[in-house]
Amino acid sequence: MAIVRGTPNVSNERLQKILARGGIASRRAAEQIIASGRVRVNGKIVSELGAKADPYNDKIEIDGKRVVAETPVYVLVHKPRGVVSTMSDPEGRPSMRELLTGVGTRVFPIGRLDFATSGALLATNDGEMADGLMHPRRAVPKTYVCKVTGQMSPADILKWKKGIQLEDGMTLPAEVKLLRHEAGKSWIELTITEGRNQQIRRMGESTGFPVMRLARLAFAGITTDGLRPGQWRHLTREELQTLKKAYGVPKSTPHAPSDEAGPQGHIRRTTPRRAPQAGPAATGTATHAAAPRAQERPRATASVRYGRAQREPGPGAARGPAAATQRGHAGATPRVDAGAPPHRGGRSDRSRKPDAGSAARGSGDEKTRRYEKPRRR
């Protein structure tokens, strides 16, 4: 079936919309892909913007690979500092791809956060939803907590609320609240509805309050509560329904995966690890696991060949002269305590009760440690 603009078929949709729903890219990025001639419909190259196709009956390919509509996935990521908010970085810096490997399907971030900014960032494979939340007319609120140099006065707060003149124009009114002053610095919370590049940092430079720390607390009312930096979770059905009611996207609210397992992903450590402390506390469970083995006593066995009891050295057996005594020395006879009953073959000296004399001199193990190595003749 040939692709004709305006074909009277209710199932026909614009190509960029089909590519966006297939998780290829957002609508704007899909338009560039189409214009570059990378898209084929039923074997024919289509480079005209506005062309339509039937996503169910037509064969749509991009770079030779067929486009198939994916199940929509919507996740919230707590982006750490020191990570770019793209799926790849030409400079080799950590990217969102490393954080979202466990999602199971290709997703892309909705919007962006600066390399040094942390906080809430949505990701999806639904290009239509991404475009809906990023369109300026939607005025999606984004809430930040910010630490700036200098003590902001009520007049400064009012100036931020009304708008700041930047190189690319006046900023829209914002909600700004002073949280506290701290050692010549100010903590503020502000909510903006624009998506200009590094807008808050430029606002601080323009007003004489350079931004020292910036974190996004919420995006479109969805917060990072319960997520540590580097973790992500699926959006709940209630959150998707709230987004649809407020901004018209997503078009459908599928059942979100169960969140019983809690947040997922790898936690990025933002502070250096503590050096291990000396002593047993530094080794952790390894010390406790090795302790029982070190306390094992050597087993006593009867030696019929030599007519005396021998001890097989255990893991914690004595070494050196004591070990030689335990193994028995050639030509030597085992020492028997005075008053003890004679040794009977097949029984160990551990099986008999010590008498008063042996108890006064100590246990057999203590005597063994006091033995000296016999002299060689």
Q: What values do phi and psi take at 227, rounded to 5?
A: -110, 130
Domains of the chain, with CATH numbers?
A: 13-66 (3.10.290.10), 70-140+220-268 (3.30.70.580), 141-218 (3.30.70.1560), 297-328+363-368 (no CATH)
The string of pLDDT tens digits covering residues 42-68 is 999 999 988 999 888 899 999 998 888
Q: Which among 54, 63, 89, 114 is annotated as catalytic?
A: 114
Please give the residue that has the higher pLDDT: either 249 or 341.
249
Alpha-carbon distance values, 253 to 71, 111, 186, 195, 248 (Å): 11, 21, 41, 26, 11
Q: One-letter amino acid identity for 139?
A: A
The string of pLDDT tens digits covering residues 291-326 is 444 444 444 443 333 344 444 455 554 455 444 444
What value, to the nearest 5°, has the Cα angle with vertex 114 and ends 95 and 19?
A: 60
Under 8 Å CB-to-CB from 307, ≥6 apart: which residues?
345
Q: Which long-range contacts does 43-46 make (Cβ < 8 Å, 24+ apart)?
A: 44/2, 44/3, 46/3, 46/15
Indicate the pLDDT class of residue 86, thresholds 50, 70 and 90: very high
What value, to the nearest 5°, has the Cα angle with vertex 264 and ends 129 and 232?
A: 35
Q: Any bridge partners for residue 73, and if so which?
A: none
Q: Where are the beta strands (DSSP E) in 111-162?
A: 118-124, 142-149
Segment among 93-97, 148-152, 156-160, 294-298 with least mean pLDDT: 294-298
Separation of alpha carbons 369 and 78, rounded Å: 62
Query: Is 114 an annotated catalytic residue?
Result: yes
Please give the residue that has the higher pLDDT: either 71 or 374.
71
Asked whether the beta carbons of 250 and 244 are under 8 A apart, the reply is: yes
In the numeric block, which tokens belong to residue 361?
Answer: 């001199």
